[in-house]
A = this chain, B = another copy of it.
Amino acid sequence: MVSGTLYTYPENCRAYKALIAAKYASANVKVDTSFVFGETNKTEAFLRKFPSGKVPAFESSDGKCLQNGDAIAYYVANEQLRGKTDLEKAQILQWICFAESEILPASCAWVFPILGIVQYDKKTFDRSKEDVKAALGILNTHLLTRTYLVGERISLADITVACNLLHLYTHVLDPNFRKPYVNVNRWFTTMVNQPNFKAVAGEVHLCAKVAEVDP
């Protein structure tokens, strides 16, 4: 059973992946509450362990250091979450890469301008909605006949994809936009209502009215 300390800023969806996996695997992962993003991760001591200075970052009780939310989630997970067969493990890796390359970029391009994190750019903004539709379409087809993304039980694939969809479902996927993706809505709602998910991400309220960006 892995135990250790996680360094992150609050409400970090990347860190949620590791914390949720730890809940399922009963791993003892504590968030360092003294960590201040922008200060602690710029100290010599931190950079010696975590050269890129990026979070989430994890140090196990026996001194092993890892960065990247998916890698930390893998390390604190158990066999069920990691996949039992070589095929399941490969499929989980496929969904991890899908979450990072097909969902995350589109989610950031759509939500960040609304949150005022990046400058609004109409072309990028409009393109991101098409990319989100494409990603949700693939998920929706896959989940037509499946409860979980890989195998018959929850795995790291479900956790990583659900975490990467959090910003979209809470900020911009209003009932109208998400209407066609019945299977994804069902799967996502199931995910965020799992006790281990809720214990980390709290109550997840699906977007009621899409927030508009102020160009």
Query: CB within 8 Å of B: which residues of A?
Result: 2, 51-52, 64, 66-68, 70-72, 74-75, 86-87, 89-91, 93-94, 96-98, 100-102, 134, 138, 141-142
Contacts and interface: CB of A to CB of B under 8 A. Distances in A.
A71 B86 CA distance: 10
Nearest to A87: B64
A67 B100 CA distance: 14
A121 to B, nearest CB: 12
B52 A67 contact: no
The count of identical subunits is: 2
Contacts of A51: 138, 141-142
A52 B71 CA distance: 25
Contact of A87 (B67, B75, B86): B75
Q: Which 7 A-B pairs have the closest CB atoms?
A: A71-B94, A75-B90, A71-B93, A68-B97, A74-B90, A68-B94, A71-B90
Given A67-B94, A71-B93, A93-B70, A52 B86 contact: no
Contacts of A68: 93-94, 97-98
23 contacts: A51-B138, A51-B141, A51-B142, A52-B138, A64-B87, A66-B94, A67-B94, A68-B97, A70-B93, A70-B97, A71-B90, A71-B94, A72-B90, A74-B86, A74-B90, A74-B93, A75-B86, A75-B90, A93-B93, A93-B96, A96-B97, A97-B100, A100-B100
Contacts of A90: 66, 71-72, 74-75
